[in-house]
Structure 1
Amino acid sequence: MGRAEEVVSMLPQHRDVIVVGASAGGVEALRTLIAGVPGDLAAAIAVVLHMPAGGTSALPQILRRFGNLPTVTASNGAPLRPGTVYVARPDHHLVLIDDEVALSHGPTENGHRPAINALFRSAALSLGPRVIGVLLSGVLDDGVAGLVAIKAQGGLVVVQDPADALYPGMPENAIRNVAADYVLPAAEIGPLLGTLTKENSVEPASSPSSLLRLENEIARDQRTSTDYQANGVGVSSGLTCPDCQGVLSELTSADGRYRCRVGHAWSVEALLEAQGGVFERALWTALRSLDEKRNLAERMCRDARQRGNERLVERYQQMADEARQAAGVLRAHLTGLPASPEPTGDG
């Protein structure tokens, strides 16, 4: 680095990039936040809201109607312009590379694409102390690891007050795991951002960890099949990925997070939730199989009776009764309703 570049790098910088993440209840929180942002904001805003992979998002139109800033759907390679809001596209990670927007189809994180962590990590790695990270209403803990990265790289962390959030899970997890600089209702965050972006950033960025660089490359779809153990940042967990059933590595320099070789990422809470969903789907599959077994056994019982074979009638009726009883217990567990006796078959 030359003397002139060194002097420039030491000059105070404005915090001119704001990254915002939200999930359940996030539309209301985002609408309130954006409505309070001043029209002369000297910073770009990038927004990720968890959304289904298919279809389109009306979020840009919603925020445009309630806010004072131009709001656009993020497009690959677009420059980050102060006073503009960039909204993630469905089924694409929104990441920042220096002062540009980038889209990727990298592996899901906590079952989401776009994922909040992917945006937050990329901003922390590329822009360091210029970044303000904002986490709003939602369940579980997507975005928390990203806030940790933003804080480590000299950025500021703002969290919606859980008492103000429709779904307080994400804000509560953030407050437990990150030393948030501000915890405020959504209505107060917009004006705060106007103030913070006028201040100089004085905290230098620390050297990014190898894990931060690696995870950012995965989100950008540059490393889609990574051996975390070989890279020294993971150990085999003995658990499987709910998305692809691959073996999960536990990331050794992170707090309770996992990655599979494909790159799917999971926090402990999201993994537990997803495994619960896998288990429930398996139970429903088992219930369907028991109902089909009962129906088939009853059909065979009727056929055996018509042929006058009482030995087979007894055998098939017993199989039908056993399947009926097992299905009743399983159905009661899945629905939360008491098992009701069903009439026995024709036998």
Structure 2
Amino acid sequence: MTLDTKREIVAVGASAGGVQALISMAGMLPRDFPVAVVVVLHFSGGAKSALAGILDRAGALRARPAENGEPIEPGVIYVASTDRHLIIDDRTAYLTDGPTESGHRPSINALFRSVALDYGPAAIGLLLSGVLDDGVAGLAAIRSQGGVTAVQDPADCIFPAMPTNAIHAGVVDHVIPLPELGAALSKLAAEQVGQRQAQPDANLELENRIARGAKFAVDFDADKVGQPAGFSCPDCGGTLMTLSRGSFRCRIGHGWTAEALLKAQDVEVESALWVALRSLDEKAKLSETLADRAGAAGALGQRYAASAKEARHAAQVLRDHLSQVHERPPEAVSE
């Protein structure tokens, strides 16, 4: 294989605990770092991100929010904006409002897929601290197109689930302790690599096209994506289709990884249980009121009183269960 291609980009994904890791990374990269850095941090939609300014002050490289239609240049850190996917195409940044992925926009996987398709072997994918399995499919995409992949050492992470899941999935080439991140990235960035050898990937290209589309104007044939999974999309309630990579898409285009879907279902179940608890309390109160009006000695009053007792008992059982869930250690319910 002829080594005639240089590394051109580092795509970085992080979520919970990732700000500290990103600051450390930015502080370690030298002023003459030869490739571009593009960053997605999962955060709550609607909140304006100050991450670009924080990273700009953290080290020698310029850092700024990525702008739509902006050419990607070496030696600059580009940060995804709030509520927009950051997609790279033809060495140019695009900000899109395509469907959310695992409830996120911007999405780590959306960025990583686009970098895989655009840069191939010239790409480096890096996953930092975070929960669930966000970014794992994206690292797999970068690797499938000849790029190199790395994760922060889980032992250094505030939340190690993302790097750990990537390691378990077998999509990681390098596990890097946080203090060595700058030197390791500089070494990888200086490597020369071969030309793209990977075959076109129809599913990868389709998912990239979905992320590039408008929020309500995604044009694809959901029936050709995969078989119905038997699950509903937490975002829109539509039928989810199983993709070949073990992730899911609905007809609207919302994407879910297995871990994120399970977490979203946990939230839905808990929400439904709280609604049930409120309904039982209200039923008990109404039954008690009707029993008082009917009189305790009569058959009707006794029926209302029995209904109130049954509702109170069911509510207490449910309340005890919910209390036990919330008393568990955070790690038992967050990942």
What TM-score do the two structures reach when normalised by structure 1? Answer: 0.88
Alignment-mate amino acid for residue 110 of structure 2: A
Compute the RMSD of aligned alpha carbons: 1.7
Distance 1:323 1:274 in 2: 28
- 1:132 maps to what in 2? 124
Residue 63 of structure 1, CA deviation:
1.1
- 2:198 maps to what in 1? 206
SS in 2 for 1:316: helix
1:229-270 per-residue CA deviation (whole Å, 9 max, x = no partner) reads 3x3x4111111111111111111x21x211111111112111
Work out whether 1:258 is the aligned partner of 2:258.
no
Work out whether 1:315 is the aligned partner of 2:303.
yes
Residue 224 of structure 1, CA deviation:
2.1
1:205-250 per-residue CA deviation (whole Å, 9 max, x = no partner) reads 4122100010000111166253333x3x411111111111111111
Residue 179 of structure 1, CA deviation:
4.0
SS in 1 for 2:71: coil
- 1:298 maps to what in 2? 288
Equivalent of 1:80, from 60, 72, 85? 72
What is the percentage of aligned positions where both structures have the same residue?
51
Work out whether 1:332 is the aligned partner of 2:320.
yes
1:32-63 per-residue CA deviation (whole Å, 9 max, x = no partner) reads 11111111111111100110001201211221
- 1:13 maps to what in 2? 5
Q: Which runs of 5+ in 2 are unaligned?
A: 326-335
SS in 2 for 1:96: strand
- Change beyond 3 A, Cα 1:179–1:239: closer
- 1:340 maps to what in 2? none
More displaced 10-residue stretch of structure 1: 194-203 or 165-174:
194-203
Q: In the comparison of the two structures, how many residue pairs are matched? A: 322
Instruction: Please show how residues 210-289 of structure 1 align to structure 2 within 5 Å.
Output: 210-221=202-213, 224=218, 226-229=220-223, 231=224, 233-251=225-243, 253-254=244-245, 256-289=246-279
SS in 2 for 1:336: helix
Which protein is bigger by CA-based radius of gyration? 1
Residue 162 of structure 1, CA deviation:
0.9
SS in 1 for 2:43: coil
Residue 203 of structure 1, CA deviation:
4.6
Distance 1:275 1:176 in 2: 23
Alignment-mate amino acid for residue 222 of structure 2: Y
Counterpart contact for 1:249–1:260, Cα < 8 Å:
yes
Counterpart contact for 2:67–2:94, Cα < 8 Å:
yes
Counterpart contact for 1:24–1:138, Cα < 8 Å:
yes
- 1:70 maps to what in 2? 62
Q: Which runs of 5+ in 1 are unaligned?
A: 1-9, 338-347
Counterpart contact for 1:152–1:206, Cα < 8 Å:
yes
After superposing on structure 2, the runs of 4+ consecutive aligned residues of structure 1 that deviate more than 4 Å are none
Counterpart contact for 1:38–1:191, Cα < 8 Å:
no
Counterpart contact for 1:294–1:324, Cα < 8 Å:
yes
SS in 2 for 1:213: helix
- 2:330 maps to what in 1? none
Counterpart contact for 2:10–2:38, Cα < 8 Å:
yes
Distance 1:64 1:187 in 2: 19
SS in 2 for 1:238: strand
1:252-294 per-residue CA deviation (whole Å, 9 max, x = no partner) reads x21x211111111112111111111111111111111111111
Distance 1:257 1:292 in 2: 40
Distance 1:198 1:59 in 2: 27
Distance 1:88 1:204 in 2: 27
- Change beyond 3 A, Cα 1:172–1:155: same
More displaced 10-residue stretch of structure 1: 143-152 or 176-185:
176-185
Residue 311 of structure 1, CA deviation:
3.1
1:60-117 per-residue CA deviation (whole Å, 9 max, x = no partner) reads 1221121211111121111111111111111111110111111111111111111100
Work out whether 1:144 is the aligned partner of 2:136.
yes
Distance 2:47 2:144 in 1: 36
Equivalent of 2:99, from 94, 102, 107? 107
Counterpart contact for 2:139–2:171, Cα < 8 Å:
no
Residue 310 of structure 1, CA deviation:
3.0
Counterpart contact for 1:225–1:261, Cα < 8 Å:
no
Alignment-mate amino acid for residue 135 of structure 1: L
Counterpart contact for 1:107–1:262, Cα < 8 Å:
yes
Distance 1:189 1:273 in 2: 30
